[in-house]
Chains A and B, each alone.
Chain A
Amino acid sequence: MPYETNIFYLAVVCYGLSASALWFRWSGLSFIFLGLGLLANTGSACLRMINSWPLLCLYQEPFLLPLGLAVVTLWLARHRQPTEAVKIIPLIALLAIIPVFFPKDFFLPFLKSHCIFSHLFLYLGVAARACFLAGAVLAGAFLWARHRNDQGQQAVAQLDFPTLLIWGYVFLSLALFSAGLWSYCGWGTLVVWEDAMVLAIAATWFLYACFLHLHLNGRWSVTWRAGFALAAGLVVIVFNYWPETGKFQLPGGLW
């Protein structure tokens, strides 16, 4: 079994322990396990990248998304409130375990990926989706705090979920530009019509553009915007994340 597979499994265990520690309200321990999981996930991703460099393997996003979310969570814990950041940890644990049982069955790089823009497209896309999903979790937290009439949590979440979505939008825009440049370098066109994902990603971009217009002009109340962000997060899961996963199989030396 390749090293990177074992290291990724280690990351999954750490993320699982991090989520479990939350169950017992040991948030300090939870962050320690999250940090360890992030280290293992980064190691696994780096090994994978080094092994296939200068090419790129397809369908890596499910393995990288927990990493992106862990970075966002630790950033929020460091710069904002840890009580808010911990809400993302269960999602990280869930998203980390999915590629273990549902990996997609094509793991060799393909020649056309020999382009710096293909790598940028992958990593910027992961950063974008991590921000969108973390934003969706915080939007859900805002709605929950509002339901419980918790003013303090509302104020924090109200500020942070749009910030994450704005950063996600910036990353997704840059990812789309990278995709366009990669397509031009490889195929001589700006859109490669090989996979329906191209439409799903474009739909996501327009959806978040719609959110930004609603947010920046304050046309909708914060509650409605939070609902929109939550729904948009579901769109990301269903149309961006799920197509990158494969059929059920027991864990093995696949990644």
Chain B
Amino acid sequence: MVNLARRIWNFLCNLDLAVILLLAVSLNLLVGYFYFNAYPSVFRPLTYMMLPEWMRSLALANLAITWWFFTFLFFMIALGVNSFVCTTDKIAKIITNYACYPNGLRFMIRLSPHLIHYAVLIILVGHLTLVTVGMNYQHNILRLDSQVSLPGSPYHLQLQKLEVRYYDKNAMISYQGRAIDATADITVADGNGQTEIIRLRFNRPCWYEGYALHLDEFLPTSRESKRQEPYVELTVRTGPGIKIFLAGILLFIIGITFYLLQFTRIRKTREQTI
């Protein structure tokens, strides 16, 4: 049994396998590129839907168009397992030989390529978590005179004030008078009569009690439409996906910084040799 486990581990801990899988994922995505261009309406809802929901509804109903997405998922899972096994194997060896490194910096430099691999895995997990875990409520329209409940909570939201900034430069005449930014003050009321005002800006989500509030659309979008009744449209999301993604980015940056330190040092040595 131990031997079998060891053989499986060794099979997965294989750089040739990584190279084949990376090529397979890349080619798979290029195939997907053509399918996406030919049938964009099948794939565009992925922006607004959770992955399982999209798979159940659109993907399975259009398997002749979406098959590449399933093979992509398969290759990605295989690549993830391969990366995890290879990286863990290498890190275990490096940590075991910690005493061989003259200082902490050398140790970190040696560790850096593997940190990058873990970072990519964390980023991929973040992606997957964001599209599979938590809630995703679209098209929550808030107006000045009506309340909307925050899904799955005792909170109610109402638009208090909307400030819109317009393009005023002369450089792009056809864009003059169009909105370039918006700030919405939103009243949050809980069931006990307590209210709080939160400020939400376009393209700058706000986190409130575990909810991520995104200002998706608003009116007025130009000076001409200023007389229309103002509203904002919110996307509300929950789930830890974005935090995992950010943690992955942070680890990647740490890893790449140490890696580039090592890389530039080796390069200088080789330049001197030439």
Contact = CB atoms under 8 A, between A and B. Distances in A.
Contacts of B181: 54, 114
Contacts of B174: 108
Given A199-B30, A203-B30, A207-B23, 10 more contacts: A55-B167, A173-B252, A184-B245, A189-B130, A190-B131, A199-B32, A206-B29, A210-B26, A219-B16, A219-B19
B223 to A, nearest CB: 14
Contacts of B171: 2, 50-52
Interface SS, B side: helix
A210 B235 contact: no
Size range of the chain A interface in the assembly: 35 or more
B126 interface: yes
Nearest to B131: A189
Contacts of B235: 187-188
Contact of A196 (B15, B19, B33, B216): B33
Interface in A158-199: 159, 163, 166, 170, 173, 177, 180, 184-194, 196, 199
Given A51-B171, A114-B180, A170-B260, A214 B19 contact: yes
Given A112-B203, A187-B235, A166 B263 contact: yes
B220 interface: no
A185 B203 CA distance: 5
A180 B22 contact: no
Interface of B: 15-16, 18-19, 22-23, 25-27, 29-30, 32-34, 36-37, 40, 43-48, 113, 123, 126-127, 130-131, 136, 167, 169, 171-172, 174-175, 178-181, 202-205, 212, 214, 216, 221, 235, 237, 241-242, 245, 249, 252, 256, 260, 263, 267, 270-271, 274
Nearest to A201: B29
B33 A199 contact: yes
Given A111-B202, A209-B22, A239-B30, A191 B249 contact: no
29 contacts: A51-B171, A54-B180, A55-B180, A114-B203, A115-B204, A159-B274, A170-B256, A180-B245, A187-B48, A187-B214, A188-B205, A188-B235, A188-B237, A189-B47, A189-B131, A190-B126, A190-B241, A193-B36, A194-B44, A199-B30, A199-B32, A203-B26, A203-B30, A206-B26, A207-B22, A210-B26, A213-B15, A219-B19, A239-B30
Kindly list the 8 A-B residue pairs having the minimum CB-CB distance in the complex, ordered from nearest.
A51-B171, A203-B29, A210-B22, A196-B36, A206-B26, A193-B46, A188-B235, A188-B214
